[in-house]
Amino acid sequence: MFSISNRRYTGSKYKLLDWIEELITENCEGETFFDVFAGTGVVSDRMKKHFSHIIMNDFLYSNEIIYNAFFGTGQYNPDTIKQHEQKYQSLHAKKLNKNYFSENFGAKYFSEYDAKIIGYIREDIKRNKKLLSDREYFILLASLLYSMDKVANTVGHYDAYRKIDSINDRFKYELIKPENCGEKFEIYREDSNTLARKIHADIAFVDPPYNSRQYSRFYHVLENVTLWKKPKLEGTALKPKAENMSDYCRKNAPEVFGDLIDNLDVKYIIVTYNNTFNSKSSSSQNKITLEEIKNILSSKGETMVYEKKHQCFNAGKTEFDDHKELVFITKVGVKGGKE
């Protein structure tokens, strides 16, 4: 069964979790943890043992489904989930008709056979939605996303597929391992700056996108399968028309970040940052400089900076020398910060 960390994701903090957990528990106090850009969800997952209430937010539809599948409050029948797994594992591509997914993504992101099975499963989940509880629907769909990601013919995102002559049939539908967390988790898919004006918490963990790479475009295949609107696709990467784009990936990112920080109603703000501002690749260059981060956070309160050497995600086209991950911890309203 898949745990929440069993996926490939640009900017994932999975390998830094021990360090981040140590910094938060040693420097912050409180009961409510607000994961403003939750991404893979691994930080919230790790911090759930330390806080009585976790608030998760991300603007990707696929991530919202995944959070609700792992941490949602709804009921589900394990036997129902297992029956679907057995049905989907018994499928044979030769007996299936071509479908939207296989016609677009077969022999590209997946083998022809695997793409036919993925498309069939997604259509079957949709067809049976009325017979499923919300949590069962989320679990089955999240399981499909994780099973797809495990075998996708990519370097870890869907901005392009690997150009190879033959793609092996490797897809196997496997289940995620949902958790029973009661009412501990509160899940949103909202613009972070809008949500910040509504939420009161003790700690905000802020890990925004910093460069021009839009996550809705990086993970368009997973978004497509989640929404299942079957849009017309364009270009070599087979992307739909652009939507759900983030201002954090644009030139006005410093202003947007400043607005977010200014409107967070919390006692502590933790911000992660990496030193790729001067990357040779323009798409990898951070839209917010280190000095801008420091100035914005210092205006909110006393800010400490911690750093750690870290091997960043690299698809092979970008050079990073002496790459470091930075963590800022701001005590709001302390020593010159806003009261």
Looking at residues 282-291, what average pLDDT do you find? Answer: 69
Q: How many residues make up the chain in this entry?
A: 339
- Angle of CA points 56, 60, 62, to nearest 5°: 95
Q: Read out DSSP for 218-281? A: HTHHHHHHHH------BTTTTB-S--S--GGGSTTHHHHHHHHHHH-B-SEEEEEEES-TT-SS
Is the CB of residue 304 less than 8 Å from the CB of residue 243? Answer: no
Q: So what's the pLDDT on residue 322?
A: 59
pLDDT in tens, 76-111: 999 999 999 999 999 999 999 999 999 999 999 999
3-class DSSP state of 53: strand
| 9-60+182-212+250-339: CATH topology | Rossmann fold (3.40.50)
Tell me what the mean pLDDT of segment 303-315 comes to: 74
Q: What is the pLDDT of residue 283?
A: 42
pLDDT of residue 70: 98
Between 49-58, 245-254, 277-286, 295-304, the lowest mean confidence (pLDDT) is in 277-286
SS3 content of the chain, % helix, strand, coil (to 5): 40, 15, 45
What does the pLDDT read at residue 66?
98
What are the residue ranges spanned by the domains of the chain?
9-60+182-212+250-339, 73-180+216-231
Measure the CA–CA gap between 151 and 327, rounded to whole angstroms. 33
Q: What percent of the chain has pLDDT over 70?
A: 90
Residue 11 confidence class, pLDDT cut points 50, 70, 90:
confident
User: How many C-alpha atoms does 240 have within 13 Å on its Cβ side?
Assistant: 17
Provide the pLDDT for residue 274.
Answer: 85
pLDDT tens, 187-217? Answer: 999 999 999 999 999 999 999 987 667 889 8
Residue 251's pLDDT is what?
A: 85
Residue 262 has pLDDT above 70, yes or no: yes
Confidence of residue 247 (pLDDT cuts 50, 70, 90): confident
Confidence band, pLDDT 50/70/90 cuts, at residue 310: low
- Look at residue 315 and tell me whether its pLDDT is greater than 50: no
What confidence category does residue 154 fall into, taking pLDDT thresholds of 50, 70 and 90? very high
| Confidence check: pLDDT of 328 > 50 | yes
Give per-residue pLDDT as tens, 215-232. Answer: 898 999 999 999 999 999
Report which of residues 58 and 244 the model is more confident about.
58
Percent of the chain with pLDDT over 90: 81
